[in-house]
């Protein structure tokens, strides 16, 4: 019996050891988010403990020497799932045959740079990376955009890769989602694991709307609405919202650098949920393509919604009640995205 079990175990093990590696691209790979992110991906936190990985690292030419250091460190981690690391500054190498693309690199705001010029530079980057996805990646590639302005960059990339389904593009608002869960958990005195179904609506910016009207807190095995668990409506409608909205700026003030460890963790959560799905009864926040059919959000925007994910495809959680307080905040963040989209599309020449 024991030998039979051992034999079966060995068969399973060797089958999983033979799984085809997937190809995962991280751009901005010499940057600070990537420094936390690459390790987690390479050790199996995102695509599973049995899934071998080829990591492709893209950055701009002046960063290639830094990238070499990152490659050495990844090798020195001696991670069994990591089959190959490919550093490059060329999109035709970087985007080839991809299963997943995590687009972290973007043009940062420089001293005295106008918002319009920043947007223009990013439209150029995400147009060319979208075109590279179109030309070189698998049609089933899952694309996550992190580099800011993430929502609009994601829309531009998707429009530049017309043969890849729009549903396969998403942008990161999971960091905001995680921040909201953590604030509520700390306030109630429970673990973040006991908080679910907070929502981030809209843009990844200070106009985002963190909404806990549908959030549930596990108090000693019983699920309670956030308002009943927190018992402080004015905090939930005031300081809670501004704390989440301003959190990125607060981290920069303290660290003199933007959020990196927490951003990397959120990227892992987001991509893992795309790969393996969300738990029953649970939803998460993701910037996804709005078709105009959910919550009165205009179409042709990448807008953060509550989504459930099954079999690598997401669905917006429809039918949640929206009060007037929420409505106004959801519309304000949509208006901001419309304005940014229209400026970006003018740069794109459409």
Ligand X SMILES: NC(=O)c1ccc[n+]([C@@H]2O[C@H](COP(=O)([O-])OP(=O)(O)OC[C@H]3O[C@@H](n4cnc5c(N)ncnc54)[C@H](O)[C@@H]3O)[C@@H](O)[C@H]2O)c1
Check binding of 168 to ligand NAG (CB under 6 A).
yes
* 106: nearest Cα among 168, 154, 40: 154
Q: Classify residue 320 by its DSSP letter.
A: -
Residue 259 binding result from ligand NAG, ligand X, none, given CB thresholds of 5 to 8 Å by partner type: ligand X
* 149: nearest Cα among 192, 204, 191, 88: 204
Q: Work out whether strand 22-27 and strand 100-103 pair parallel, antiparallel, or are unpaired.
A: parallel
Catalytic residues, by residue number, are 204
Contacts of 184 (CB under 8 A, 6+ apart): 195, 198, 212, 215, 217, 226, 229, 230, 240
Burial annotation 18-42 (CB, 10 A radius, 16+ → b, else e): eeebbbbbbbbbbbbbbbbbbbbbb
Check binding of 205 to ligand NAG (CB under 6 A).
yes
Binding residues: 59, 109, 115, 122, 146-148, 179
* 107: nearest Cα among 95, 120, 94: 120
Report the residue from 314, 326, 330, 344 that binds ligand NAG according to the rule CB under 6 A.
314
Check binding of 105 to ligand X (CB under 6 A).
yes
**Token pair for 210:** 């963190």
Check binding of 108 to ligand X (CB under 6 A).
yes
Check binding of 277 to ligand NAG (CB under 6 A).
no
Residue 172 binding result from ligand X, ligand NAG, none, given CB thresholds of 5 to 8 Å by partner type: ligand X
Check binding of 245 to ligand X (CB under 6 A).
no
Contacts of 278 (CB under 8 A, 6+ apart): 284, 307, 308, 309, 310
8 A C-beta contact, residue 21 and residue 99:
no
Report the residue from 24, 47, 59, 99 that binds ligand X according to the rule CB under 6 A.
59
Q: Which residues within the stretch 251-270 sit at the binding site for ligand X (CB under 6 A)?
A: 258-260, 263
Minimum distance from residue 208 beta carbon to ligand NAG (Å):
8
Choose between 13 and 310: whose C-beta lies nearer to ligand NAG.
310
Report the residue from 24, 25, 26, 33 that binds ligand X according to the rule CB under 6 A.
33
Report the residue from 22, 125, 241, 344 that binds ligand X according to the rule CB under 6 A.
125
Residues that bind ligand X (CB under 6 A): 27-28, 30-34, 58-60, 63, 104-108, 125, 146-148, 150, 172, 175, 204, 258-260, 263
Residues that bind ligand NAG (CB under 6 A): 140, 142, 148-151, 165, 167-168, 203-205, 274, 311-314, 336, 339-340
């Amino acid at each position: 019996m024991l030998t039979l079990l051992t034999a079966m175990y060995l068969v399973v093990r060797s089958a999983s050891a033979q799984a085809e590696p997937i190809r995962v691209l991280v751009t901005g790979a010499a940057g600070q988010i990537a420094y936390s992110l690459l390790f987690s991906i390479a050790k199996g936190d995102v695509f599973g403990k049995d899934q071998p990985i080829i990591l492709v690292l893209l950055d701009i030419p002046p960063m290639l020497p830094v990238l070499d250091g990152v490659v050495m460190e990844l090798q020195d981690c001696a991670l069994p799932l990591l089959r190959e690391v490919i550093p490059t500054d060329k999109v035709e190498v970087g985007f080839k045959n991809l299963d997943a693309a995590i687009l972290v690199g973007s043009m940062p705001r420089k001293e005295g740079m106008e918002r319009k010029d920043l947007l223009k530079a990013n439209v150029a980057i995400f147009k060319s990376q979208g075109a590279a996805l179109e030309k070189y990646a698998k049609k089933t590639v899952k694309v996550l955009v992190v580099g800011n302005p993430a929502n609009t960059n994601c829309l531009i990339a998707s429009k530049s890769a017309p043969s890849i389904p729009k549903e396969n593009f998403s942008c990161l608002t999971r960091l905001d989602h995680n921040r909201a869960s953590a604030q509520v958990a700390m306030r109630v005195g429970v673990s973040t694991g006991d908080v679910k179904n907070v929502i981030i609506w809209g843009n990844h910016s200070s106009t985002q709307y963190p909404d806990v009207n549908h959030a549930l807190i596990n108090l000693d095995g019983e699920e309670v609405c956030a308002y009943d668990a927190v018992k402080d409506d004015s905090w939930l409608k005031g300081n809670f919202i501004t704390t989440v909205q301003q959190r990125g700026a607060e981290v920069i003030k303290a660290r003199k650098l933007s959020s990196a460890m927490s951003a990397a963790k959120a990227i892992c959560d987001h991509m893992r949920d795309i790969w393996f799905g969300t738990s029953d009864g649970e939803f998460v926040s993701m910037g996804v393509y709005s078709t105009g059919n959910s919550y009165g959000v205009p179409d042709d925007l990448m807008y953060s919604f509550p989504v459930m994910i099954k079999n690598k495809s997401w669905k917006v959680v429809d039918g949640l009640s929206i009060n007037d307080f929420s409505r106004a905040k959801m519309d304000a963040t949509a208006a901001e995205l419309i304005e940014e989209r229209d400026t970006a599309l003018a740069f794109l020449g459409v």
